[in-house]
Amino acid sequence: MNLEIFDTYEILSYNVAEQIISAIIKKPEALICLAAGDTPKRSYEMLVQELKARKIDYGKVHFIGLDEWIGISPENPGSCQFFLRQTLLSPLEINAENIHLFNAMAEDIHKECEKMDNIIEQLGGIDLIVVGIGMNGHIGFNEPGVSWNKNSHIANLDEVTQKVGQKYFSTQTQLTQGITIGLKQLLNAKTALLLANGLKKASIIKKALEEEMTENIPASIFQKHANGLVFLDRESSSGLS
Ligand code: GLP
């Protein structure tokens, strides 16, 4: 694991965008898995701007959405899909066949996991996965206690996740389950990038990176990722010794 600390959220975001751009330049048909959420928002805005300004050919890149709230429609602005489309996929005019998002409204939700696992396998594995960290140490919807040996799966959401998740929705919304890429797929990714910013993440970042690795803090898996990168802003790193 490689740790980098940047002075501000803006500089952190710029460096995240550059990582994604490097992955695309290195492999124009890269498979990139992206988290939604507040943390990567500015990175994606910068990514869109830079890809266009530098006329980088991103037409062959395949994008996967990391996770989704089960039962929340893609038209709901609080859904991960809405966020990814609005922030990145639509401004970049990515072809539908290069976009792979969980359908959280599917009747057979387990089939969605199978479909995603097959796509990842057929496309030769994830080249770059960009994730945030939840206040309880989750990654995507890999909730505390999850096995590190899981591919895509359905998760019952931890209380903290249900509560914190309200911030994405304009009205009180029932959030009970999520569908997510698994930690096995994160471990197998050629590069995994964990981001955090802000003081509120300082304590969970310390636990994830400095305490013993444990399935109770899913993000602590980064301690053993051979090609794991952790990018923090100064504030979220402030608890580290
Ligand atoms: C959310 C999502 C994750 C996200 C994490 C952190 O609940 N399921 O994919 O990375 O929690 O979110 P944020 O960046 O908004 O703090």
pLDDT band at 118 (very low <50, low <70, confident <90, very high): very high
Number of domains, the chain: 1
How many A from CA of 65 to the centre of ligand 1?
12
10 located within any domain: no
* Confidence (pLDDT) at 205: 98
Q: Which atom belonging to ligand 1 lies closest to the Cα atom of 39?
A: 14
73 located within any domain: yes
11 located within any domain: no
Site to substitute for ligand 1 among 133, 183, 199, most atoms within 8 A of C-beta: 133
Tell me which residue has its CA closest to atom 12 in ligand 1: 37
- Residue pair 78/170 in contact (Cβ under 8 Å)? The answer is yes
Considering just the CA atoms, what is the radius of gyration of the chain in Å?
16
Tell me which residue has its CA closest to atom 10 in ligand 1: 132
Tell me which residue has its CA closest to atom 3 in ligand 1: 140
Catalytic one of 62, 112, 138, 158 = 138
Plot region of 93 (φ>0 → left; ψ -120 to 50 → alpha; else → beta): left
Q: Write the pLDDT tens digit of every residue in 27-86.
A: 999 999 999 999 999 999 999 999 999 999 999 999 999 999 999 999 999 999 999 999
Catalytic annotation present for 138: yes
* Confidence (pLDDT) at 198: 98
55 located within any domain: yes
* Confidence (pLDDT) at 183: 97
Q: Which tokens in the block code for residue 184?
A: 């096995």
pTM for this model (two decimals): 0.97
235 located within any domain: no
Identity of the amino acid at 104: A
**In angstroms, rounded to a whole number, what is the distance separating the alpha carbons of residues 100 and 62?**
8
Catalytic annotation present for 143: yes
Mean pLDDT score across all residues of the chain: 97
Q: Write the pLDDT tens digit of every residue in 141-190.
A: 999 999 999 999 999 999 999 999 999 999 999 999 999 999 999 999 99
The CA-CA-CA angle for residues 153, 136, 119, to 5°, reads 25
223 located within any domain: no
**In angstroms, rounded to a whole number, what is the distance separating the alpha carbons of residues 33 and 67?**
10
* Confidence (pLDDT) at 71: 96
Q: Write the pLDDT tens digit of every residue in 200-238.
A: 999 999 999 999 999 999 999 999 999 999 999 999 999
**In angstroms, rounded to a whole number, what is the distance separating the alpha carbons of residues 165 and 41?**
16
Q: Which tokens in the block code for residue 3?
A: 């740790």
How many A from CA of 68 to the centre of ligand 1?
10
What's 170's domain CATH number?
Answer: 3.40.50.1360
Q: How many other C-beta atoms lie within 10 A of the C-beta of residue 35?
A: 25
* Confidence (pLDDT) at 203: 98
How many A from CA of 55 to the centre of ligand 1?
30
26 located within any domain: yes
151 located within any domain: yes
Q: Write the pLDDT tens digit of every residue in 91-117.
A: 999 999 999 999 999 999 999 999 999
Q: Which domain holds residue 110?
A: 18-179
